Structure 1
C-alpha cells in the first residue's frame, strides 16, 4: 500500500488550490453589503481562517457587476512608510495618472508617488502644521480614489497598520457622503490596546452602513469538502476528515498546508475509490501552520528553497527580475526552481511575472528560518536590486540595507525616507524609521548624534522609547575610538535621554561628565548647563542651580533657529522651577504656532512644562491655557507621548481646582495603561491616591501614592499626601518618618517651588510631635525662600504654616483668623478642597477658644455640605460625626463672650492633661474629646507654655504636683458645667 501511495504521489506533484468551501452565508452577506449603499465592512478572524479568500471571492463578484476595487495589505515585516497599504493599492490600480486630471490638491501626492512626478500637478506650498499637511494628503487621496471610480477599497491585516493609515481610514469612513465602500480585515486578538483601529471597530460613524463578519473554523463536513477539492474531487473518508479536523481545529490554511505536506510525504493513500490516511500511529501532522510550512520547505531542493527565502526577504509582491537578483542564482538556474516554488502552492502569481507568498504567515515562517548569514546577503542583494528601479523605494531600501548591515546606505536612505514622511505630515513614521536604525545598527558617531537629536521621541508609541537608544549610545562610547569632544557629545545625549526617561540623577551625572568637554559656544553646552540647572532629583542649594544658568557663556556663534528655540524653552522652564519670576518673561516668547514640524515637539514640551510650573506657582488659569496649547499641538503633530503627559497634568490641575466629576476614573485609566510612560502614570496615580484619600479609601490611597512616589517629580507631593493621611489618623510618628526622608531635599535647598504642598504637612507633624521650635524654623526657611513672589499657592501654604503654629502654641484666636485668611486665599485660586479644610480649622479654633456652639456648629454644617458636594465623603462624614456628638451634650448656659483663663489652664486643657496622665496619645485624646488631633496638639502646647515644662510628660507630672486635678477628674464632653475647676 505504501508503494502505491508513492506512485500516486508521483502522479500528483502539484496539488491545486482548495475550492471555496463553507463560506456561502458570509459571501452572500459581504456581496449584499458591497452591492448596496457605501458600507464599512469589518472582517475579523484568526490567522489562516480564510479572510483573504472570502474577500477575493466577493471582489470577483463585484467585478462582474462593473464595480472597481483596490486592495492593499499591511505587512507584518513592517517597512514604515506613510500610508503604505493605501499607496500600494492605488499604485496597482492607476495606469494613466495624467488622464485623471487631478486638481492642484494632487500635488500633495508627490512625496508618496515620485514615479508620477511628470503627471501630477506641482507640489503645493508646504504646510508647517503636520495635521493640516496630513489632512491635505488625505483629501488628495480621496480625490484620486474618486477619479479612479473606486467602488471598494479593501485593506487587509489592518491590525498591523501604521497610525497614518488608520487615521486615513477614519477620515475616509467619516466623510459624508461616503465615496465608496471600505473593507478591513484584521485579527481582533492582535490589535494593540492603543490602536486607532479600536475607534473604528467600537465607535464607527453613527450613520455608517456597518457590517461585521467574524469567520469561524470549518466543521468536519466542510473540512472533508475542502480536502476533496484539493485531491481531484475524490471522496475523503470521514475518519480521515475527522482526524485532520481535530489536528487543525478546522482552520482552512492549516488544513491546506497539512494536506500538502501529507501529500508530499506520501502519507495519503487511495482506498476504495477515495482518499484516506495511513494508520494513525504512523502519521504526523504538525501542530501549527508555521511548522507545516517549514516541513514543506525542508523537503524541496536547495535552489527552490533559495527562491522561497528570497521571496520572504522581499516580504511583498516581487517581479521575477528582482526575485532572481535576490536569490543570487544564475540566470539559467532560476526558472526551474521558481516554477517548483510556484507549483508547490507556497507562492502565487498575482499578475504576470509578479509573485508573492499566498499568506503572510507562510512568508514570516520562512523568513525566520533563513540562516543569519544568508539572510544578510539576500537583504544586501535586495537593496542593490531596488536601487536600480527608476524610482527607488527609499523606505524599503532603508530596511534592506539596515538588515544587511550596510551602515552608510542605511543611514542615507533612512534620512531620505524620514524626510518624505515629514513632507506628508507623518511625524510618527519618521520617528520610527530613525529609531529602528539607531536601535539596531552601530552608526558612526557623527550620524548617531545627528539622528538621535532629530528623533521626536514624543511621537513614538510605547512606554519606553529611550532605553534602546541609550544602549546604542553607550555601545558607541565603548566600541568607537572617539575624541574627547565626541565622547562628550555622546554622553550629553545619554544624559538628556535619561532625564527625559525620569532618571534624573543618572542623567545629571552623565551631563556633568560631558559638560567640560563640550565646545563652549555650542548649543549642546548651553543645553547641558540648563539641564544641570533644573531642580529635579536630589537636593542641591538653589544657588548651585542658578549658577549653571548665570555662568552659561553667550552663544555668539550663529545658532540654528531650532537650537535657539530649544535653549529658550528649556531656560524658561528652569527659571520657573527655580522660583525665578524672570522665567515668566522668557515663557511669553514660546510661540503658539510653529513654522517647522520639528519645532512642534519643542514648543509642545515648552507649553506643557510651563503649565506644570504654573500649577506649582498656583497660577491655575495660566496652567490650563498652557496645557490646552500643548494638547492642541500634540494632536496636530502626532506627539503621542505628550497627549498622555497633558492628560495626566490636566487631571492634576482638576484635582486642585475641584473639578472632581469623573476624575478618579480618568486617573485610574491613565495610571494602569502599559503604553503610558512611567512619569505620566505616576502623576495619574498621585491624583487617584488623592481622590481615594478624600473619599475614605485609606489603604487604596496609600498604595497608589506609594506608586506615584516612584517618579521624582511626583515623589514629594505623594509623600505629603501620605503623611497627611497618617496625621489625620493620629499617627504622628509615621507622618514624621515619611517627611523626614525628603525634608532636606524639599526645604533645605531653598527651592520653594517643591515645598508648597510639603511644608504645611511637615510643620503640622513637627508641631503634633511637640517639636515646636523645629516647626518654627522650618516655616522661617520656607518664608525666606519664597519671599514676596507672586505665587498664590505657595503664599497660601506659608500662611497655613503660620496658622498651624499659632494653633499649636495655644493662640487660638490668632490661629482662627489666620485659617480664615488661608481659606480665602485658597478659594481665590480656586482650590476649594483646601479652602474647606481651612474653613473647618477656623471654626474648630473658635470652638476650642470658647466660641458659641450655637453660632459655630451651623458654620461647620455648611463646610460639611460643601465637602460632600465636592466629593470629599471621608471629610464630610468626619465632620458630621463631630457636629452630632458636639451638639448632643447638655451644656451649662453662660454669658456672652469667651472666658479668659490667662496663664491658668482652661477646663479643656485640664481634660487633656488628665488623659495624658493616663498615657493616651493625641489621637486617642482627640477621639475621647471629639476634636481634631491638631486641636489636641495645640492644647498640649498651650499647657506646656503655661506650666513652663518642656514635654507632654512634664504637663502630666506638673498638674499632679500642683493638685490641679480633683478626685473626680475633669468632666468629659457633655458635663463640663457639673463640676467646678481649680486653676
Structure 2
C-alpha cells in the first residue's frame, strides 16, 4: 500500500491541475464497446438497457453520455435515482423522473385514472384530471397508481426513462416496473443501473421475461486496465498522454475504478504531490495515500451492518490484503475457528469478500485500505502478527507477505531477516524492483549494525542498477559508506554509488570522482575496476581534459586479460569503442571487429547486447549507418533470445529509432517514439534522446509551437545532464526553427556554448551535424566572418579523424557561407556536393535540405537545373512527411513557376494508392502467414503499428483478408 516511484505525466494543462476543485475527464473514456452495444437498442424502442457494475465503475457517466448522444436528441430523457433510505418515499425514482416531464404533457387525452397521481406529482396537478374517489383498498389504490403512471409515461410519446442505483429500489418501484414492462408503451426506452453484488433478485427478474417486441441489452462494466486508465488520466489532466508506469500505479491503486482514479488524481493535486517536472507532471515520492472518501464511506457503511464474527473476518482480510486460502484467513481472525468460518460465510454472502480459485479476500485494494484504516493500531498490530504466522504455513511461503506483516506487527529484527530472505528470492527470480523496495525499507527504517547495513546496501546497489524503475538510493549508499568498512566492500559500494549517479544522469562531477575513488579500492576486483575505468573514460564530465578520459579507456583495455568473463570482455570492448567512435578515433573499428569476432556477430548475453546497442548508437550519431544497423539489429535479436531484460530490448529499439530518423525511414516512427517515451520515463538520459526525436519529427511535420517547446526543453536537459553526445540532433532542429522565427541571436549564443563543450570533449565527429544549421543562422545574422572561423576551426579539429558526416556537413556549411557572399554558382556546386555526400550516407532529410538550398542559388542565376533539384526536394519532403519543409519548398516552387507534385489527400507522404515501403514490407510478411506480433518482432515495431500498416495496405489494394493478400502477391499483382 505504499510506493516510492515517480511517474511522469506528459503535456498537462496546468489550468486543470492547479485551479479546478475536481479532476474529471471532460470526455467518456474506455467505454466505446459498451456504447456501440447500447445505442442501437435505445434507437429502436421499446427497449430495456441494463448497466451493471460496482461502485465507482462509471455507470452514471455512461448513462449521461448515452443521454446526450444525438441519436436521442429528439426524445425527452427523464432521470430518477433510488436512495438508500427507502421509506417514506415509495416509487421515488419514478416520481422523480416524471417531475421533469411536465413540459412534454398536455391535459388533453389523459384518462381519469391519472388523477390518482396528484398526491405524488403536485407539480403536475394543473395538467392532471381530478382526483378519483377512494377505493378503500390499499392494493386497489396502488394498482390504480400503477395504471396512472403507465398511462402518463405513454402519453409522453418516445421517451427515455433512466432509473439509477436500482440496488436500493423500494418494493413498490420494482413492482411498478414489472407492471410497466409487461406491456411497455411503444416509444419507451428504460435504462437501469445497479451494483451487481448488491442488487436483489426482484430487480434482476424485471428483465428476465420481457415481451418479444422489447429489445434487451445488458452490459457489465469491467474495471479499467492500464491503457484505459492512461487515457482517462490524460483526459482528466488535459494531457496528450501519461506514462505507462503512472497509469499502472493509478490502475493498481484504484483497482481500475474510474471514479477512484479521478479521486486519486484529485488527492495527488490537493496534497501538492502532483508537481511540474520539465515538460510534464510527476507524482512526488510519498509513502501512502488515503482511500477516496466516497469509496471509504461506502465500504465502512456496509461493514457496520455485519455481525461481530463477520467484521473479524473482514478485518483479517484487510490486514492480509491479498487473496489467501481459507485456513490462512481463519488463523488470522481474532475469534474462534467456527466463528471465523461463520463470519467469512456472511462476508461472502454480503459481497464484501469474494472467493476466487479457492482463495478469499477483498475485491479491490481501495476496500482493503478503507477497512484497514478503521482498525485501531493495537488490534492491527496483533492481526499482522497473526497474519505472519498464518502465511508462514503456506506452501510456498510468501516471504514478501511475511516481511510485510512482521514489519507492521512491530517485530523489527524478525522483519529484517524476512525482508532480506524475500529480497534474495526476488533477485533470484529477476524481480529487482521488488528487491529494491524491500531492502530500501529496511535500510531506511530499521536499526542495523554496520556489517549488516553494508551487506544490505551492496545488495540494494546491485538490485537498483538492474531495476527498470529509477530509484534514488544514492543517500542510502552514501550513508553506508560513512561507516567503518572492509576495503573490498568500500570499493564495491563506491562503484555502485557511481553507477547509480550515472543512471540518474545527475551530478556528473561527483560521478567521476566516485568512480576514481572506487578504482583505488578495487585492486582485488578487476571486473569492477575495469568497469569503473570505462565510466571514467566517458567524456561527460566538465573540467576533465579529454586526454585523461582517453587514458582511462586505454587502462581499461590493458586490464582486459585479467577478466575471465567473456561477456564482460565484450561489454568493455563495446563501451570503449563507443567512446572512441564519438571521438573519431579510428581504433574503434578494431575493437568493434574484436567484439564481433568474439561473439560471432550474435550477442547471446545481456552485457553483449548492451555492448552492441551502445556502440551501434554512437556509430549512428557519427554517421556509420551501415555498422549501426548491423549492430543494433543484432542487439535486438540478441535481446529477444538471451537473458536480457525487457529494458535491454527497449534500449535496442531506442537505437533503431535514432537510426530510422537519421536514415529517413519515418513511416511509423512517431508511434514507435511515443511507445518508447512511455517506457523510458525513469531513464532520463535515454528519455531525452527519444524526446529529441519526437521534437525533431514535430518540427518536420510543421507543429512549430509544440516543436519549439519540446526542443527548448530537451536541449536544456541534455546540457544539464552533460549528455552532449545526444545534443546534436535536437540542437540542429532548434537552430533551424529559431533562425526562421527571428530568434537568431539568442540561439546562436546558446549553440556556440554547446560548440565549446563539444570542442573541449573532442566530440566534433558526432557534433558536426549541427554545423550547417549554426552556419545558416550566422549567415542570416550577417556574421559571415564568425561562420567562416567556425567552419575552419571544425575542419582543423576533424583532420585525421574518422568522421563520416564531416564531408557532407562541411560542404553544406561552405556552400551556405559562399551563398552569403552572393557567389551563387560556387555555392550551388558546394551544396550539390553536400547533397550527394548525404545520399551516400543515406541521410535523405539532410540531402533534401542541401538540394533545396542549391536550387535557391541556381534560381538566382536563372539556371534550369534548379527546377530539377527542387522537384527532387519536393518529392523527398513529401515521402518523408516533412510538411514544414515541404511548405517552404513549395512556396519557392510557386514563386519560380515550378509545378509541385500533387499531395495525396490521405497524408503528406505522397504515396497515393501505392504502398509505402513499410506497408509493402508488412504486407509481404503477413502474406507468409506471420501474425502481427511475429511481424512486430521481425521489424522491431509495435503490434499496433503493424496492424495500422497492414490495414492501410489491404485498403489500398482493395482486399479484405490475409488470404486474399497472399493470392494477390503470389500472382505478382503486388
Task: Output the TM-score relative to the length of structure 2.
Answer: 0.54
Matched-pair contact (CA < 8 Å) for 1:540–1:745: no
Aligned length: 620
Counterparts of residues 560-709 of structure 1 (less than 5 Å)? 560=565, 563-590=568-595, 600-635=605-640, 639-667=645-673, 670-671=676-677, 677-709=683-715
Matched-pair contact (CA < 8 Å) for 1:689–1:701: yes
Residue 875 of structure 1 aligns with which residue? 885
Secondary structure, aligned partner of 1:356: strand
Q: Deviations over 1:415-471 (max 9, x none)?
A: 23543x3xxxxx5xx23332322332217322332343245646x3xxxx1234445
Matched-pair contact (CA < 8 Å) for 1:496–1:511: no
Secondary structure, aligned partner of 1:853: coil
Residue 922 of structure 2 aligns with which residue? none
TM superposition shift of 1:664: 4.0
Residue in structure 2 matching 1:744, options 753, 756, 759: 756
Are residues 537 and 699 of structure 1, via their aligned partners in 2, closer, same or farther at CA, if it must alter by over 3 Å?
A: farther
Residue 520 of structure 1 aligns with which residue? 523
Q: Deviations over 1:29-50 (max 9, x none)?
A: 9xxxxxxxxxxxxx99446989
Question: Does residue 408 of the first structure (1) align with residue 454 of the second (2)?
Answer: no
Residue 543 of structure 1 aligns with which residue? 547
Matched-pair contact (CA < 8 Å) for 1:48–1:254: no
TM superposition shift of 1:745: 0.8
TM superposition shift of 1:829: 1.2
Secondary structure, aligned partner of 2:762: coil
Matched-pair contact (CA < 8 Å) for 1:398–1:414: no
Question: Does residue 433 of the first structure (1) align with residue 434 of the second (2)?
Answer: yes
Counterparts of residues 117-128 of structure 1 (less than 5 Å)? none
Secondary structure, aligned partner of 1:580: coil
TM superposition shift of 1:613: 0.8
Residue 344 of structure 2 aligns with which residue? 342
CA distance in 1: counterparts of 2:593 and 2:583, whole angstroms: 17
Residue in structure 2 matching 1:533, options 529, 533, 537: 537
CA distance in 1: counterparts of 2:56 and 2:886, whole angstroms: 59
Matched-pair contact (CA < 8 Å) for 2:516–2:532: no
Matched-pair contact (CA < 8 Å) for 2:433–2:463: no
TM superposition shift of 1:560: 4.9
The CA RMSD over aligned residues, in Å, is 4.9
CA distance in 2: counterparts of 1:251 and 1:830, whole angstroms: 61
Residue 499 of structure 2 aligns with which residue? 496
Are residues 342 and 866 of structure 1, via their aligned partners in 2, closer, same or farther at CA, if it must alter by over 3 Å?
A: closer
Secondary structure, aligned partner of 1:466: coil
TM superposition shift of 1:580: 2.6
Matched-pair contact (CA < 8 Å) for 2:736–2:773: yes
CA distance in 1: counterparts of 2:682 and 2:845, whole angstroms: 28
Are residues 325 and 592 of structure 1, via their aligned partners in 2, closer, same or farther at CA, if it must alter by over 3 Å?
A: farther
CA distance in 1: counterparts of 2:560 and 2:570, whole angstroms: 13
Are residues 864 and 589 of structure 1, via their aligned partners in 2, closer, same or farther at CA, if it must alter by over 3 Å?
A: same
Residue in structure 1 matching 2:809, options 783, 794, 797: 797
Secondary structure, aligned partner of 1:819: helix
Matched-pair contact (CA < 8 Å) for 1:254–1:289: no
CA distance in 1: counterparts of 2:599 and 2:316, whole angstroms: 45
Are residues 698 and 315 of structure 1, via their aligned partners in 2, closer, same or farther at CA, if it must alter by over 3 Å?
A: closer
Are residues 794 and 500 of structure 1, via their aligned partners in 2, closer, same or farther at CA, if it must alter by over 3 Å?
A: farther
Residue 466 of structure 1 aligns with which residue? 470
CA distance in 2: counterparts of 1:382 and 1:287, whole angstroms: 27
Matched-pair contact (CA < 8 Å) for 2:584–2:802: no
Secondary structure, aligned partner of 2:809: helix
Counterparts of residues 369-388 of structure 1 (less than 5 Å)? 369-370=374-375, 378-379=383-384, 382-388=387-393
Secondary structure, aligned partner of 1:816: helix
CA distance in 1: counterparts of 2:323 and 2:661, whole angstroms: 54
Question: Does residue 452 of the first structure (1) align with residue 457 of the second (2)?
Answer: no
Matched-pair contact (CA < 8 Å) for 2:391–2:397: yes
TM superposition shift of 1:306: 6.0
Are residues 482 and 881 of structure 1, via their aligned partners in 2, closer, same or farther at CA, if it must alter by over 3 Å?
A: same
Matched-pair contact (CA < 8 Å) for 1:594–1:600: no
Matched-pair contact (CA < 8 Å) for 1:539–1:745: no
TM superposition shift of 1:519: 1.7
CA distance in 2: counterparts of 1:582 and 1:564, whole angstroms: 17
Counterparts of residues 186-201 of structure 1 (less than 5 Å)? none
Are residues 403 and 731 of structure 1, via their aligned partners in 2, closer, same or farther at CA, if it must alter by over 3 Å?
A: same
Query: Which stretch shifts more, 557-566 or 436-445?
Result: 557-566
Are residues 682 and 293 of structure 1, via their aligned partners in 2, closer, same or farther at CA, if it must alter by over 3 Å?
A: same
Residue in structure 2 matching 1:841, options 853, 858, 876: 853
CA distance in 2: counterparts of 1:716 and 1:638, whole angstroms: 30
Matched-pair contact (CA < 8 Å) for 1:539–1:746: no
Are residues 251 and 648 of structure 1, via their aligned partners in 2, closer, same or farther at CA, if it must alter by over 3 Å?
A: same
TM superposition shift of 1:591: 7.0
Matched-pair contact (CA < 8 Å) for 2:319–2:372: yes
Residue in structure 2 matching 1:726, options 733, 738, 754: 738
Q: Deviations over 1:86-113 (max 9, x none)?
A: xxxxxxxxxxxxxxxxxxxxxxxxxxxx
Secondary structure, aligned partner of 2:834: helix
TM superposition shift of 1:410: 1.9
Question: Does residue 823 of the first structure (1) align with residue 835 of the second (2)?
Answer: yes
CA distance in 2: counterparts of 1:668 and 1:389, whole angstroms: 43
TM superposition shift of 1:663: 3.5
Matched-pair contact (CA < 8 Å) for 1:304–1:341: yes
Matched-pair contact (CA < 8 Å) for 1:495–1:508: yes
TM superposition shift of 1:616: 1.3
Q: Deviations over 1:702-741 (max 9, x none)?
A: 2221233244244343222211223345654234223133
Query: Which stretch shifts more, 377-386 or 620-629?
Result: 377-386
Matched-pair contact (CA < 8 Å) for 1:218–1:252: no
CA distance in 1: counterparts of 2:714 and 2:689, whole angstroms: 6
Secondary structure, aligned partner of 1:436: helix
Secondary structure, aligned partner of 1:661: coil
CA distance in 2: counterparts of 1:415 and 1:741, whole angstroms: 48
Residue 146 of structure 1 aligns with which residue? none
CA distance in 2: counterparts of 1:620 and 1:827, whole angstroms: 12
CA distance in 2: counterparts of 1:648 and 1:733, whole angstroms: 33
Residue in structure 2 matching 1:505, options 500, 504, 508: 508
Matched-pair contact (CA < 8 Å) for 2:423–2:434: yes
Secondary structure, aligned partner of 1:741: helix
Unmatched tracts of structure 2, length 5 or more: 1-33, 38-50, 60-161, 176-191, 201-291, 444-451, 899-974
Secondary structure, aligned partner of 2:360: strand
Residue 873 of structure 2 aligns with which residue? 863
Are residues 497 and 357 of structure 1, via their aligned partners in 2, closer, same or farther at CA, if it must alter by over 3 Å?
A: same
Are residues 353 and 783 of structure 1, via their aligned partners in 2, closer, same or farther at CA, if it must alter by over 3 Å?
A: closer
TM superposition shift of 1:474: 4.5
Q: Rg larger in 1 or in 2?
A: 1
Matched-pair contact (CA < 8 Å) for 2:615–2:631: yes
TM superposition shift of 1:826: 0.2
CA distance in 2: counterparts of 1:391 and 1:665, whole angstroms: 42
Are residues 252 and 287 of structure 1, via their aligned partners in 2, closer, same or farther at CA, if it must alter by over 3 Å?
A: farther
Query: Which stretch shifts more, 563-572 or 315-324?
Result: 315-324
TM superposition shift of 1:543: 1.6
